[in-house]
Amino acid sequence: MSIHEACGVFGAISPQRKDLARLTYYGLYALQHRGQESCGIVVDDDGLFYSHKDLGLVGDVFSKEDLDRMPASTMAVGHVRYSTTGEKVRANCQPIEVNHQKGKLALAHNGNLTNDDKLRDKLELNGAIFHTTSDTETIAYIITGERLKTGSIEDAVSQAMDVIEGAYSMVVMSAAKIMAIRDPYGFRPLCYGKTADGTYVIASESCALQAVGAEFIRDILPGEILVFSTDGSITSRREHCGTKPRQSCIFEQIYFARPDSIIDGIPIHQARVNAGRALAKAHPVEADAVIGVPDSGLNAAIGYAQESGIPYSIGMIKNKYIARTFISPSQRERDNQVHIKLNPISSIIKGKRVVLVDDSIVRGTTSRRLVTMMRDAGATEVHMRVSAPPFLHPCYYGVDIDSEDNLIAAHHSVDEICEMIGADSLGFLPIEDLKVLSPALDYCAGCFDGRYATAVSPNHRKNRFSTPLSQREKKSKK
Ligand code: SF4
């Protein structure tokens, strides 16, 4: 599995000044699985913003001294990033900060705009000078442009939402408020809660609320702008709610979200168990042990075992002290890291017919190594089961699912893939069974069925890594 999540966002606002930088640090720690390239925190100190951002994991970027240097405050926003637009450079670290005639803004964004190239071109032709290659800066420019014409920051955000298209769950901090914003389709998750001392907390996933002792209140609605003020008041703006069909990303349920999170009312652990059960019904096999690939295959493996009656076993140990495989810059390094990261327990596997459950197959290289690992540990048969349908298409909404060229299922039948990875049999979750992951809500399954809810500009289809007009021109001249 080598799919990259796009980001995690966090925000906190309190009636009293307190150490919100540290609270945000703990929140980002809980969201680390959503992005490991860079992270950052911005706190407000009476209209002055203090920030600390860098490339790296939360635990590496922030030392105790860094946190001690940040002032007590009533507002803070934070971000963990994996770049699906823009390059992996320090300039693209978030939250992005902008100064404008009517004040300051700090933005943290999860998702991808699908019309970023068009908007950038227009802004650049009107004189905007971009400092980053991230689509978040495009959003920042549009909001600040609207702010000069409107009476409030929330009006400016609402006007910007008329223009920007695609996936965006954001926290936006002005000098007086924090806004939690979710695009009208609701592609990416966003929720909020409250601590016992009255601090409101906003996060990509509910696991981050629990990490800071906040009680979950509810998910931000698709299209909602929820405005938090330092006097403790909250206002919900809903003019964009219900304007588009709901399109929650089903891959959050399959892989990205932490199993202890609840997203849009769906407990992720249970959703994955349900997928495992459906997988067992669709692709039964005679075997002695069901083994899940840590971490995101474990819950589906439990479901497969429950439905099939085959005993569930812990057959692989994950080294907890290295980062996820996909941090590596090259495919070769990723391949090598599979061995460092996972180790089979031979005493469990030896002489057994094994059902190996993973959450997805992208290029097939990891699956091949896992099957080989099982055989080397003494498995007599290895039956691969995948708790998602085959990836056939890219994602344009903030997940680094590659072009069709690199997706094994886009070019090979299930039987061919089975042979290529060296398994005795292979079964994917049927696409019609995706509904077990989200029984009550409509969802996006674009990477599986090729149906996208929004228009995707040809440039965005060609190159999801946004590049400023000036750089695109240079490239085309070469
Ligand atoms: Fe999620 Fe796939 Fe839709 Fe992207 S295309 S939002 S990964 S379901």
- What confidence score (pLDDT) does residue 404 get? 85
- What confidence score (pLDDT) does residue 133 get? 83
Residue whose CA lies nearest to ligand 1 atom number 4: 395
Query: What count of Cα atoms within 13 Å lies in the side-chain half-sphere of residue 77?
Result: 28
Beta strands 177-182 and 169-173: pairing type? antiparallel
- Each residue of 114-155: pLDDT tens digit? 999 999 999 999 888 888 888 999 999 999 999 989 989 999
- Each residue of 151-186: pLDDT tens digit? 899 999 999 999 999 999 999 999 999 999 999 999
- Map tokens 């906003």 to a residue: 202
- What confidence score (pLDDT) does residue 477 get? 31
Closest of 195, 190, 315, 181 to residue 257, by C-alpha: 190
Query: What count of Cα atoms within 13 Å lies in the side-chain half-sphere of residue 88?
Result: 15
Specify the ligand 1 atom closest to the Cα of 167: 6
Is 220:188 a contact under the CB 8 Å cutoff? no
- Map tokens 């930088």 to a residue: 21
- What confidence score (pLDDT) does residue 471 get? 41
pTM of the model: 0.91
Ligand 1 mean position, distance from CA 22 (Å)? 32
Q: Residues with catalytic annotation?
A: 7
- What confidence score (pLDDT) does residue 131 get? 86
Residues of the chain with pLDDT under 50: 1-2, 324-329, 464-478
CB of 58 closer than 6 A to ligand 1? no
In the chain the domains, ranked by start, together with CATH numbers, are 8-247 (3.60.20.10), 269-442 (3.40.50.2020)
CB of 453 closer than 6 A to ligand 1? no
- Ligand 1: which of 404, 441, 444, 464 to mutate, judged by most atoms within 8 Å of the beta carbon? 444
Rounded-to-integer distance, Cα 91 and Cα 357, Å? 39
- What confidence score (pLDDT) does residue 3 get? 56
